[in-house]
């Protein structure tokens, strides 16, 4: 029997494997090898050491290469039967690593199913990101303890730089705007512009026109011609094509406006009208809110109560007066009531309510604010007394920051120093004003060009600084 012919005949099923794999692109099952004649006898003898290996090449599309090899035992069996051992057939060149290839071992005797899997990837695309004309960041409410009278800002910005074309164009196509609001839920008109400290000039501010006029964020110095320029699509406009109006608060075009163009301006803010680097909270109209705190069990053991808000004191009003009485003036920083109590007034008589001095009836107990708002002197509190000849009907207190300090506890506290001066139980009601102190910061990042799709400014970090009233 010609071994070479027999081997070549057996390669036909493997060529079929390739055809099936290519057409179905799925699972490939190796066909079973069935020897005959002397080959069957030899195969039966060599089951413990298989002599035939079929190895595919490195293509996953199917089997294209076959090889027959023999070991010593097989070679002896061929010689015993008078049959020449078959030579090895292979394709010239090195075989790929066995670990990277599927393997069909002893297909003539194995009954195990073997599979080859093909994997594919679809919907692959190459994309890119672009930036919009603007991006807006709004901070969470910043609640500050105390009466804020001034707010300022520090910020670290980064801008792309462009060629000025020998002074004919702007070197910046981006801008950043900052706004502060004093309300937790501000409306559009509640936002106030502010410049970061150290930023002495404004570059590339976007202009939004109503007709031929556009309002600036800050008043501009109108006598700075070497630092004030308007650009149309990044190209500097001639000075006779525009002018300042309203003392530098706005600009006006002196030619028809191009509705498709982007206009920007560089200018120096004029500090005569407003300080662009800080915001005076009172001047901008921060809201003064009336607050009522109630302390049902009187004071703490140290005769103090802590207010829920930081009280606002109108020092502008106080300092404008030659003398100021915080208990009888029309403006009274605090009004304290003692309610639902049993306050002794002498001779076994009690009252359930004590009013501030301005509202108390003659001969009745009253509360009295002893805080020195003009000289800031620490006043000593005079104790309430019902002793004959030493009567004093005033329950005095003084303010220290967000605390009120009383002359007694109003809770009959079982403390040695308090027992002798306690004159009953009462709920303390404190009425005062505070400023709304929840601030928010808004940052607008603008791209002021239509030609550059991947240009954007960047704010690396910022700090909001608050000046607190004492």
**CA-to-CA dists, residue 232 to 80, 201, 204, angstroms:** 100, 19, 11
> Residue 12: enclosing H or E segment and its boundaries?
helix 12-24
User: Does residue 171 carry a pLDDT above 50?
Assistant: yes
What percentage of residues in the chain have a pLDDT greater than 90? 55
Task: Pick the last residue of a domain from 105, 121, 155.
Answer: 105
Q: What was the pLDDT predicted at 75?
A: 43
Decide if 262 is inside a domain. no
Query: How does residue 19 score in pLDDT terms, banded at 50, 70 and 90?
Result: very low
Residues 6+ apart with CB under 8 A from 213: 245, 250, 251, 252, 253
Decide if 255 is inside a domain. no
* CA nearest to 459, candidates 172, 162, 176: 176
Distance CA 446, CA 131 (A): 10
Q: What was the pLDDT predicted at 411?
A: 83
Mean pLDDT of 306-312: 93
Q: What was the pLDDT predicted at 97?
A: 57
Task: Pick the last residue of a domain from 105, 121, 153.
Answer: 105
Query: How does residue 370 score in pLDDT terms, banded at 50, 70 and 90?
Result: very high
Listed range (40-54, 111-125, 195-209, 415-429) with the worst mean pLDDT? 40-54
**CA-to-CA dists, residue 12 to 5, 17, 19, 130, angstroms:** 12, 9, 11, 58
Query: How does residue 102 score in pLDDT terms, banded at 50, 70 and 90?
Result: low
Q: Which residues pair with 202 in a beta bridge?
A: 267
Listed range (80-89, 212-221, 363-372) with the worst mean pLDDT? 80-89
User: Does residue 348 carry a pLDDT above 90?
Assistant: no
Q: What was the pLDDT predicted at 46?
A: 45
Q: What was the pLDDT predicted at 463?
A: 96
Task: Pick the last residue of a domain from 44, 75, 105.
Answer: 105
Listed range (43-52, 392-401, 454-463) with the worst mean pLDDT? 43-52
For all residues of the chain together, what is the average pLDDT?
Answer: 80
Express each pLDDT in 123-167 by its tens digit.
888 887 777 899 999 999 998 877 888 999 999 999 999 999 998
Listed range (96-100, 280-284, 317-321) with the worst mean pLDDT? 96-100
Q: How far is CA 465 from the centre of its chain?
A: 19
Q: Report pTM.
A: 0.61
Decide if 181 is inside a domain. no
Query: How does residue 469 score in pLDDT terms, banded at 50, 70 and 90?
Result: confident
Decide if 414 is inside a domain. yes
Distance CA 401, CA 379 (A): 14
Edge-to-edge strand order for the sheet containing 242-245? 209-210, 213-215, 250-253, 242-245
Listed range (324-328, 348-352, 441-445, 446-450) with the worst mean pLDDT? 348-352
Domain range for 39 is: 3-105
User: Does residue 455 carry a pLDDT above 70?
Assistant: yes
Express each pLDDT in 23-54 by its tens digit.
444 444 444 445 545 444 444 444 444 444 33
Query: How does residue 375 score in pLDDT terms, banded at 50, 70 and 90?
Result: very high
Residues 6+ apart with CB under 8 A from 211: 257
Distance CA 305, CA 429 (A): 11
Express each pLDDT in 222-248 by its tens digit.
999 899 999 999 999 999 999 999 999
Decide if 71 is inside a domain. yes
Decide if 278 is inside a domain. no
Residues 6+ apart with CB under 8 A from 277: 152, 153, 194, 195, 196, 197, 199
Query: How does residue 412 score in pLDDT terms, banded at 50, 70 and 90?
Result: low
Mean pLDDT of 356-372: 95
User: What total number of domains does the chain contain?
Assistant: 2
* CA nearest to 426, candidates 441, 414, 438, 408: 408
Express each pLDDT in 267-278 by its tens digit.
999 999 999 999
Decide if 390 is inside a domain. yes
Q: What was the pLDDT predicted at 464?
A: 96
The answer for 320, left when phi > 0, alpha when psi is -120 to 50, beta otherwise, is: alpha
Express each pLDDT in 58-88 by its tens digit.
433 333 344 444 444 444 444 444 445 455 4
Distance CA 315, CA 212 (A): 45
CB 215 within 8 A of CB 193: no
């Amino acid at each position: 029997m010609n071994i070479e012919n027999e081997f070549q005949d057996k390669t036909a099923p493997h060529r079929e494997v390739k055809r099936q794999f290519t057409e179905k692109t799925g699972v490939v099952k190796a066909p079973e090898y069935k020897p005959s004649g002397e080959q069957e006898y030899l195969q039966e003898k060599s089951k413990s050491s298989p002599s035939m290996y079929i190895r595919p090449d490195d293509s996953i599309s199917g089997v294209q290469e076959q090889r027959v090899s023999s070991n010593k035992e097989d070679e002896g069996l061929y010689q015993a039967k008078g049959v020449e051992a078959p030579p090895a057939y292979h394709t010239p060149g090195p075989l790929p690593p066995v670990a990277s290839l599927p393997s069909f071992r002893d297909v003539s005797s194995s009954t195990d199913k073997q599979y080859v899997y093909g994997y594919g990837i679809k919907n692959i695309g190459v994309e890119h990101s672009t930036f919009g004309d603007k991006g807006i960041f709004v901070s969470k409410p910043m609640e500050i303890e105390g009466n804020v009278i001034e707010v300022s800002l520090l910020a670290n910005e980064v801008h792309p730089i462009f060629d000025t074309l020998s002074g004919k164009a702007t070197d910046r196509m981006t801008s950043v705007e900052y706004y502060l609001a004093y309300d937790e839920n501000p409306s559009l008109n509640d936002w106030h512009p502010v410049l970061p400290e150290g930023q002495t000039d404004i570059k590339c501010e976007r202009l939004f026109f109503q007709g031929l006029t556009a309002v600036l964020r800050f008043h501009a110095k109108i006598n700075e011609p070497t630092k004030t320029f308007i650009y149309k699509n990044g190209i500097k406009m001639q000075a006779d094509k525009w002018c300042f109006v309203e003392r530098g608060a706005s600009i006006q075009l002196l030619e028809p406006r191009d509705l498709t163009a982007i206009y920007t301006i560089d200018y120096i803010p004029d500090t005569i009208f407003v300080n662009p680097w800080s915001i005076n909270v009172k001047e901008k109209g921060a809201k003064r809110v009336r607050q009522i705190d109630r302390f049902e069990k009187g004071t703490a053991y140290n005769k103090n109560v802590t207010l829920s808000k930081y009280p606002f004191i109108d020092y502008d009003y106080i300092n404008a007066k030659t003398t100021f009485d915080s208990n009888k003036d029309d403006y009274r920083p605090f009004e304290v009531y003692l309610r639902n109590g049993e306050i002794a007034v002498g001779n076994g008589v009690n009252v359930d309510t004590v009013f501030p001095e301005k509202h108390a009836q003659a001969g009745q107990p009253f509360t009295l604010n002893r805080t020195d708002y003009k000289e800031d002197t620490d006043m000593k509190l005079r104790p309430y007394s019902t002793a004959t000849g030493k009567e004093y009907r005033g329950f005095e207190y003084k303010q220290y920051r967000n605390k009120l300090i009383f002359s007694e506890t109003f809770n009959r506290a079982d403390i040695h120093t308090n027992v002798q001066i306690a004159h009953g139980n009462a709920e303390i009601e404190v009425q005062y004003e505070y400023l709304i102190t929840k601030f928010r910061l808004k940052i607008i990042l603008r791209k002021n060009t239509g030609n550059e799709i991947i240009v954007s400014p960047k704010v690396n970090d910022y700090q909001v600084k608050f000046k607190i009233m004492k």
